[in-house]
Amino acid sequence: MKRMNGLRDDELIRQIESRIDIVDIIGERVELSRRGNRFWGLCPFHSEKTPSFSVSQERQLFYCFGCHEGGNVFTFLKKHDKLEFREALQYLANRAGIDISRYQSVRPSAKGARDNTIFEINQEAARFYHELLMSDFGKTAREYLLQRGVDPETIEKFYLGYAPDDWRQLEEHLLKKGFPIEAITESGLVRRSQRSDLYIDFMRNRIIFPIHDLGGRIIGFGGRLISGEGPKYLNSAENRIFSKRFHLFGLYHGREAIRSASEVILVEGYMDCLALHQYGIGNVVATLGTAFTREQAKLIKRYSETVLVMYDGDEAGQRETMRALEVLRQEGIYAQVIPLPPGIDPDNLVREKGKEEFLNFVQNNRVTVTEFKLQNYVKSGLTANLERKVEILWSLFPEVDRVKSVLEKERQLNILAHRLNLPEGDVRREFNSWKRSRSSVGSIRNRNRVFRNNRKREEKPESRHFEERLLVRMIADYDLYKRIKEELGIDTFSDPSVRNLALTFDCVCSTGEPREAQDRFKEKIVIDDELSATWARICMLEEENPLSAYEIDDYFKHLMVTRERAQWQEFGAQLAEIELNGDFFSVLRSIVRLGNMTFGRAGKEGSHESGKET
């Protein structure tokens, strides 16, 4: 297995699995009861009344027969606790009493060493900025924060700082701490002056907002100008460890609140995010002064499937809301909007209303994407005549069609009818007409083409299940693995997910001791959620109905006969083609091939006969 951040994960995982029981970890989060050789409970990943969530202590795997989530203890923590793999590794190592530092590589890579230096520079710069804010030199900055309603607890929680109105103070401080100028400039906090051979601080006369990654490390900084000329907000330059599009302000501090609330409030600015956190509303994140990106949406999706977009009520805020909604749609995240009046932002709204009234406002004013877009159409006066109303309906029908619930679909169609002053039945018929027009597009485009059946070949369920059971036996029995590889080939498994597991096992078998192959296989799939879930499912099913030696032998015989029949069919087709073409040499080659096929079959039958008792 590859090394991650200098850690030998394979050795560490082996140690963790030898000391941790998956039943203990899951049992702390799900009420389990023993039935037979397994533990059962209500699935934490979907709503159910009858337990279908199963945990195998023997195999150290879990699987839900309802929603099909499954895997090992790492997979469970990643899905249930919304942890990154490395966070799960750290958590389980602590539980197992393992000192993770023992597994540190003696010599980190050159890239890792450079990255670590930038992290250290950022940490020292944050300390420098924070101490300056809290000193006499930061009095003006503290007064500004007090005027904005930021209390001392929030200053400490987010480790806010102050960059002085000075050209070289940070650079000189970092040089005194022993950091080389090349690394300091690479951090983006100091840059070379264009007018002279000098280095100058990038942030000056600004409130500083440290930006953390999910592990709590400081990767960059945001800065708000206190007074004077220049951009109101500024981010430190992007570098090896910091790119704005991949991070969100407040996510590190708000992870637990997001997990608890099961939804995220997305705001535009640092101050909006700070204010809501200060009032005890922690499930809030902010973009870093740029348009919302798909990378940021993917980041949110790790913690929640629901996003409430709460941007400023001005025209620019509404424009950015539309862009954010499109990004969220592309990532398959359910979105709603909390529209704000012009001139109002989340910061001053929560200070005006307080926590409870603010939360009531959110609950009472949240609207679907369809409703938000419809409101904008109505405000812009585009609903003057029937033709425009039909255009609006057709532009909003895709949003309605994405809704899974039939009842919610009906509700949204009724809202469209009410707001556009149209009969509900007419809007419903128009929606059905729109759907028919969509489904007919493919037929129109394909009218002059030859028909092809592009559906995947449907495997019989019993055939797929047999392959799954065979795979479990193969991984447990190295001799069976060799027999399958030599006689059938590893790619004999037709189901893609089963074949991926078989090829993974084949890969580990070719690079180490056979007796360790099973352990190495489990280590290989531990960081792949899809493979882990598939492996958990087929292990659970095979446990209930293991293959016998007779079934395996019968499978080999059946497959060999099927392949031989296919060869004869192919040979027959070639002979028919030769007969048409009259190619003498092709006839000779076919005669030789026929002899080989016949001799090979006779040899096999002879060997089978010789093995029988007389």
**Mean pLDDT score, 269-277:** 95
Q: How far apart, in whole angstroms, are the C-alpha atoms of residue 471 and residue 480?
A: 10
At 209, phi and psi to the nearest 5? -115, 105
Q: How far apart, in whole angstroms, are the C-alpha atoms of residue 603 and residue 28?
A: 61
- The per-residue pLDDT for range 330-374, each reduced to its tens digit, is 888 899 999 998 889 999 999 999 999 999 999 999 999 999 988
What residue type is 412 in one-letter code?
Answer: Q
Of the pLDDT bands very low, low, confident and very high (cuts 50, 70, 90), residue 573 is low
- The per-residue pLDDT for range 301-317, each reduced to its tens digit, is 877 889 999 998 888 88
**Mean pLDDT score, 124-153:** 94
Of the pLDDT bands very low, low, confident and very high (cuts 50, 70, 90), residue 4 is very low
End-to-end CA distance of the chain: 53
Is the pLDDT at 146 greater than 60? The verdict is yes
Of the pLDDT bands very low, low, confident and very high (cuts 50, 70, 90), residue 472 is confident
Q: How far apart, in whole angstroms, are the C-alpha atoms of residue 70 and residue 88?
A: 16
Cα 51 to Cα 36, 61, 64, 608, distances in angstroms: 14, 16, 9, 50
Q: What share of the chain is helix, strand, coil (3-state, %, to 5)?
A: 60, 10, 30
Of the pLDDT bands very low, low, confident and very high (cuts 50, 70, 90), residue 449 is very low
Q: Are 473 and 483 in contact (CB under 8 A)?
A: no
Average pLDDT value for the chain: 81
Partnered with residue 218 across adjacent β-strands are 212
- The per-residue pLDDT for range 99-109, each reduced to its tens digit, is 776 665 434 45
Q: How far apart, in whole angstroms, are the C-alpha atoms of residue 579 and residue 557?
A: 33
Q: How far apart, in whole angstroms, are the C-alpha atoms of residue 39 and residue 33?
A: 5
Q: Please report the pLDDT score of residue 558 as a whole number.
A: 81
Q: Please report the pLDDT score of residue 283 as a whole number.
A: 95
Is the pLDDT at 263 greater than 50? The verdict is yes
Pick 548 or 227 by higher pLDDT.
Answer: 227
**Mean pLDDT score, 82-102:** 81
Q: Which residues have a Cβ under 8 Å from the Cβ of 588 and sit 6 or more positions away?
A: none
- The per-residue pLDDT for range 317-333, each reduced to its tens digit, is 888 999 999 999 888 88
Q: Please report the pLDDT score of residue 285 as a whole number.
A: 97
Q: Which residues of 60-86 are buried (b: 16+ CB within 10 A; e: fewer)?
A: bbbbbebeebbbbbbbbbbbbebbebb
Q: How far apart, in whole angstroms, are the C-alpha atoms of residue 64 and residue 52?
A: 6
Q: Please report the pLDDT score of residue 591 as a whole number.
A: 59
- The per-residue pLDDT for range 147-188, each reduced to its tens digit, is 999 999 999 999 999 999 988 899 999 999 999 998 888 888
Q: Please report the pLDDT score of residue 442 as a whole number.
A: 43
- The per-residue pLDDT for range 67-81, each reduced to its tens digit, is 888 989 998 998 888
Give pTM, 2 decimals: 0.60
- Residue 54 token pair: 């199963």
Listed range (30-39, 167-176, 183-192, 493-502) with the worst mean pLDDT: 493-502
**Mean pLDDT score, 96-121:** 70
Q: Please report the pLDDT score of residue 365 as a whole number.
A: 93
* Integer-rounded Cα radius of gyration of the chain: 32
Of the pLDDT bands very low, low, confident and very high (cuts 50, 70, 90), residue 557 is confident
Is the pLDDT at 224 greater than 80? The verdict is yes
**Mean pLDDT score, 434-463:** 46
Pick 493 or 63 by higher pLDDT.
Answer: 63
